[in-house]
C-alpha cells in the first residue's frame, strides 16, 4: 500500500536554511506530494533543483498556502508574524525557524530528541529553537536523567554561516583581501571577521547580555521543562565557515561522575561521544559540518563545584541547528 503524501511549503526557500531544508527533505525521503517554494517577490521565478526536477519559486503572500499540510519557515521574524495567520487559515501547520514565536506560551518549542511530546500541544504553530540552544541542549540533556540541571555557564563559538549565506562569502573575501594586501571590507559583520573574534551576536538585551545570549536560558527552560534553570552565556562569532562549538559548564542538583556523564551522553539520541584527550580526539567544526549529529567531548569535572561537569560540543547549525530539526518536527507531526 502506498504511503500518504503531504504537501509541504518552504517559506524563505532561497536562503541558506531554506535551501538546506530542500536538501534534508530529499535525503530523509520525506513523503512529499507537492513541494512549494516560497520567497520574496524579487526571488519569484527563480528555479531550484529538487529530487531530479526544477521547481519554480513563488511569491510568498497570504494566498500562497492553500492546499499545504506543513509550512517550514526559514524567513525573518517579521515575515513569520505577517504570514502565520494565513498559514493557519489555510489549515497548514507552521514549523517556524525564526524567533518570532519561541517564547509564546501557546507555541511548543521543540527539539525532537528532548521533548517530542510537546509537538502534540500545537495550535497551528511549532517553533524551532535557536541553533546554539539546539546543539547545546542535545549534548547535555541526558544529564537530567542522572540529576536535574540547575545552571549552565556557556560560551558559544559561532560560525559565520550562522549569519546567513553572506557570512562565508565575507570571510572568504576578507582572507583574499588580506592575502592580496588590499583594504578589508566588512558588510555582514561590524568588524573584520578574518583572523578575528567578535564577542557580540545580537543586540543588547539585559544587564549587558545580548539577545542571542539570553536565548540559551529562556529557551532551555521551556525545552527541558526546567523553569528555574539559570544560564550565563557569552556568544562569540569566530572565523569558521560552518558548525558551531560550545563550551558549557553544567551544574546539577547532585554530583555526577565523569564516567556516568560519558555513558549517558554516549547513548543519548542525536549525540556521538568523541572524548579521548590522550589520543587527541574531541569534537571540532570540520568534523561536524554537513551532518546532523552533535559531537560531545572534553568531559571533565568542574574544579570549582562538586556538582559541575565541563563539556565541549560541536554541531552543524545550518542542519541540526535549523533545517534538520525543523524537518524532524515535521516527521513527528506525521507520526502524531
Q: Just list the catalytic residues.
A: 131, 244
DSSP character for 146? Answer: T
| DSSP character string of 292-310 | -PEEEEEEEE-SS-TTEEE
Please give the Cα distance from 126 to 119 (Å, whole number).
Answer: 7
CA dist., res. 152 & res. 248, Å (int): 6
If you ran DSSP here, which 8-state letter would residue 121 be given? G
Residue 124 CB partners (closer than 8 Å, separation 6+): 87, 88, 92, 93, 94
Whether 99 contacts 91, CB under 8 Å: no
Residue 235's Cβ-side half-sphere holds a number of Cα atoms within 13 Å equal to 28
- Going 121 to 4 to 71 to 29, the CA torsion angle's sign is positive
Contacts of 283 (CB under 8 A, 6+ apart): 245, 274, 295, 296, 297, 298, 312, 313, 314
210-233 CB burial, b ≥16 within 10 A, e <16: bbbbbbbbbbbbbbbeeeebebeb
Nearest to 130 by CA among 250, 301, 244: 244
Nearest to 319 by CA among 17, 26, 8, 48: 17
Say if residues 11 and 72 touch (Cβ distance below 8 Å).
yes
* Residues making up the chain, counted from first to last: 336
Q: Which of 243, 244, 265, 271 is nearest to 310 (CA)?
A: 265
Amino acid at each position: 500500500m502506498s504511503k500518504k503524501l503531504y504537501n509541504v511549503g518552504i517559506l524563505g526557500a532561497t536562503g541558506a536554511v531554506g535551501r538546506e531544508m530542500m536538501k534534508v527533505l530529499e535525503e530523509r525521503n520525506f513523503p512529499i506530494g507537492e513541494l512549494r517554494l516560497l520567497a520574496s517577490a524579487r526571488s519569484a521565478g527563480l528555479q531550484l533543483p529538487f529530487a531530479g526536477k526544477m521547481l519554480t519559486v513563488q511569491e510568498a503572500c497570504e494566498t500562497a498556502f492553500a492546499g499545504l499540510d506543513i509550512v517550514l519557515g526559514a524567513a525573518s521574524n517579521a515575515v513569520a508574524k505577517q504570514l502565520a495567520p494565513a498559514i493557519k487559515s489555510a489549515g497548514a501547520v507552521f514549523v517556524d525557524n525564526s524567533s518570532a514565536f519561541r517564547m509564546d506560551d501557546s507555541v511548543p518549542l521543540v527539539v525532537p530528541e528532548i521533548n517530542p511530546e510537546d509537538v502534540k500541544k500545537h495550535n497551528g504553530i511549532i517553533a524551532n529553537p535557536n541553533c546554539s540552544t539546539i546543539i547545546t541542549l542535545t549534548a547535555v540533556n541526558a544529564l537530567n536523567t542522572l540529576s536535574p540541571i540547575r545552571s549552565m555557564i556557556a560560551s558559544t563559538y559561532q560560525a559565520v554561516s550562522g549569519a546567513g549565506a553572506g557570512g562565508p562569502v565575507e570571510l572568504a573575501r576578507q582572507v583574499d583581501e588580506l592575502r592580496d594586501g588590499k583594504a578589508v571590507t566588512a558588510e555582514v559583520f561590524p568588524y573584520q571577521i578574518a583572523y578575528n573574534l567578535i564577542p557580540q551576536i545580537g543586540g543588547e538585551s539585559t544587564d549587558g547580555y545580548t539577545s542571542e545570549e539570553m536565548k540559551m536560558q529562556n529557551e532551555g527552560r521551556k525545552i527541558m521543562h526546567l523553569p528555574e534553570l539559570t544560564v550565563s552565556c557569552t556568544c562569540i562569532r569566530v572565523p569558521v565557515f560552518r558548525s558551531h562549538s560550545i563550551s558549557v559548564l553544567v551544574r546539577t542538583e547532585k554530583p555526577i561522575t565523569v564516567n556516568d556523564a560519558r555513558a549517558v551522553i554516549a547513548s543519548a539520541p542525536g549525540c556521538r561521544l568523541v572524548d579521548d584527550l590522550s589520543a587527541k580526539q574531541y569534537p571540532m567544526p570540520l568534523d561536524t559540518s554537513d551532518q546532523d549529529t552533535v559531537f560531545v567531548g572534553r568531559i571533565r569535572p568542574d574544579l570549582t563545584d562538586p556538582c559541575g561537569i565541563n563539556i565541549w560540543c560541536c554541531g552543524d547549525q545550518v542542519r541540526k541547528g535549523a533545517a534538520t530539526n525543523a524537518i524532524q518536527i515535521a516527521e513527528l507531526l506525521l507520526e502524531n
